[in-house]
Amino acid sequence: MDDTQSSPLLSIKASPEPDYAPVKTFQEGMSVCWKETVKLWKVAAPVAFTTLFQFLIQSVTTIFIGHLGDLELSAISLAHNVINAIAYGFLQGMANALGTLCGQAYGAGQVDSLGIYMQRSCIILSITCFLLSSIYIFATPFLKILGQQDSIAEFAGKYCLLIIPQMFSFIINLPTQKFLQAQSKVGIITWISFVALVTHTGLLYLFISVLGWGVNGAAVAYNITFWEVAVGQFMYAVFFCKEGWSGFSWLAFKDIWAFARLSLSSCMFFCLEMWYVMSLSILAGQLENAVIALGSFSICLNFQSWEVMILTGINAAISIRVSNELGMGHPRAAKYSICAAVVQSLIVGIVSMTFVFISRDYIASVFTDSKVIQQAVARLAYFVGITMLLASVAQVLTGVAIGSGWQVMVAYINLAAYYLFGLPLAIFLGFKANLGSMGLYGGMISGSALQILFLLIMTSRTNWDKEVEQTTKRIKKWGSKEIRTEKIGC
């Protein structure tokens, strides 16, 4: 009988280094913090650049379109921040379950499981994309039902039809990205994203500035670029990644429904957070002078998202660090890595907030020539800065949740903080108190602050030894026992 069937799962892979000893002095704490900072940024820096480059693809598109006119800027911003956000929220949220499983399995030495997980995720995302395509097809009536002006909704709806191929690229893009990130193979993703951004900028210039295709040209460039990223990552994962990929397998279809349920649980955690911002964009479109309100709100969200892209690097890194350390049975390493990540993210948040405060009067000129929108952005700058500071903490804590597999619990926290408190307050301040966009931002800040409070309480009260036990059970359930059995049978 194979001894591995009765041995502890976490012993399958010998840990490259033992867990940290308890920190007793300030010097020991500083030493651990420095070690964790180095480990964190080895992953966080490439991931941050990757997410920043991929988001800049959307931002550069908005910049080119924004100089075509205010209506174009508002409509395309609505398409990106609402329709595309709904789809991306579903798909990224479901892919986060893959990140949790891959990270914990890799830490425990269950390398053969990674390729199977990735293929299962691709299958589930394929079905999801076909269902989500209806949102793009019926974007115009959907946006009108949400109270958007007819001219903006119709323009946005036409653009949404053109970018449906971009959504389908996430079937490959997101699973391969999580597959590579779990193994800390993030450098290649960064280079692929950088090349895609440069190519996209060139395509936009060619299609819009040279050929004069306008918004249609922007959509064509958008589709080409995201498929370029997806194909590049897939080629590397399949042909150049020696660990984790052992070929296509029918095992990808085994327990597909159970895997789908896990993905849906993860999806709700991510969607509730992402759609919160989307809801505020919809509300901005119902304010007086919707074109100006939507345009200024979109610009603020773009600057806010640039910071979030950097924080996403820390988010992914701490998720990987926590999941790997739990998989290796290192509770103290998981805890200390969180402390180091919080410090790093706060520094990013403070620097970002300071930058926005200083440059508030002219940052909007990057996106638009309209003086009215530039002035509206300047009035919102202080709210944007505070939001950036709060986001710096929230991104770390949500990364811990993904790495630990707490998505369901955090989904309830997001529901309470965002939709039962933040959103109603934003509606009251924006419409009843007649504070407009500033009121919407005030409500958003309040909801984010409450979410952070809940997450801090949950994280500080966590027993990391029990988390290791839970990780062991999770890997036993989803691990590669079936894969090892198949190999023995072969």
DSSP 234-254: HHHHHHT--SS-----GGGGT
Give 288's contacts (C-beta < 8 A, 6+ positions apart).
436
Residue 107: burial class (beta carbons within 10 Å; 0-12, 13-18, 19+)? buried
Nearest to 76, CA basis, from 201, 199, 222 = 222
Question: Half-sphere exposure (CA, 13 Å, Cβ side) for 333?
Answer: 23
Geometric angle at alpha carbon 400, from 394 and 403, rounded to 5°: 140
Helix, coil or strand: residue 67: coil
Helix, coil or strand: residue 212: coil
Q: State how far the Cα of 64 lies from the Cα of 201, in Å rounded to an integer.
A: 9
- Specify if 13 maps to a domain: no
Contact between 315 and 344 under an 8 Å Cβ cutoff? The reply is no
For 261-277, give one letter per residue: b (16+ CB within 10 A) or e.
Answer: ebbbbbbbbbbbbbbbb
- Specify if 489 maps to a domain: no
- Specify if 15 maps to a domain: no
Q: State how far the Cα of 118 lies from the Cα of 180, in Å rounded to an integer.
A: 10
Read off the tokens for 401: 């949740």
Read off the tokens for 387: 């939001």
Over its length of 490 residues, how does the chain's per-residue pLDDT go in tens digits? 333 333 333 333 444 567 677 777 888 888 888 888 888 888 778 877 887 787 788 888 888 887 777 788 778 888 887 888 888 888 887 777 666 666 666 666 666 667 777 888 888 889 889 999 999 999 999 888 877 788 888 888 899 999 999 999 998 998 888 878 777 677 888 899 999 999 999 999 999 888 888 888 989 999 999 999 999 998 888 887 766 666 676 766 676 676 677 667 667 767 777 778 778 777 877 777 777 877 787 788 777 877 877 787 787 777 777 777 777 777 788 778 888 888 888 898 899 899 888 988 887 887 777 888 888 888 888 888 888 888 888 878 877 776 666 777 887 888 899 899 999 998 999 888 888 878 888 888 898 899 889 888 888 887 777 777 766 666 665 554 444 444 433 3
Compute CA distances 44 → 178, 209, 313, 345, whole Å. Answer: 14, 36, 4, 11
Q: How confident is the model at residue 17, as a pLDDT?
A: 65
For the chain, the domain total comes to 1
- Specify if 429 maps to a domain: yes
- Specify if 237 maps to a domain: yes
Q: State how far the Cα of 438 lies from the Cα of 461, in Å rounded to an integer.
A: 35
- Specify if 464 maps to a domain: yes
Predicted TM-score (pTM) of the model is 0.66
Q: Please tell me the total number of residues recorded for the chain in this structure.
A: 490
Q: Which domain holds residue 243?
A: 26-483
pLDDT, tens digit, 9 for 90 and up, residues 442-487: 888 898 899 889 888 888 887 777 777 766 666 665 554 444 444 4
- Specify if 360 maps to a domain: yes
- Specify if 185 maps to a domain: yes
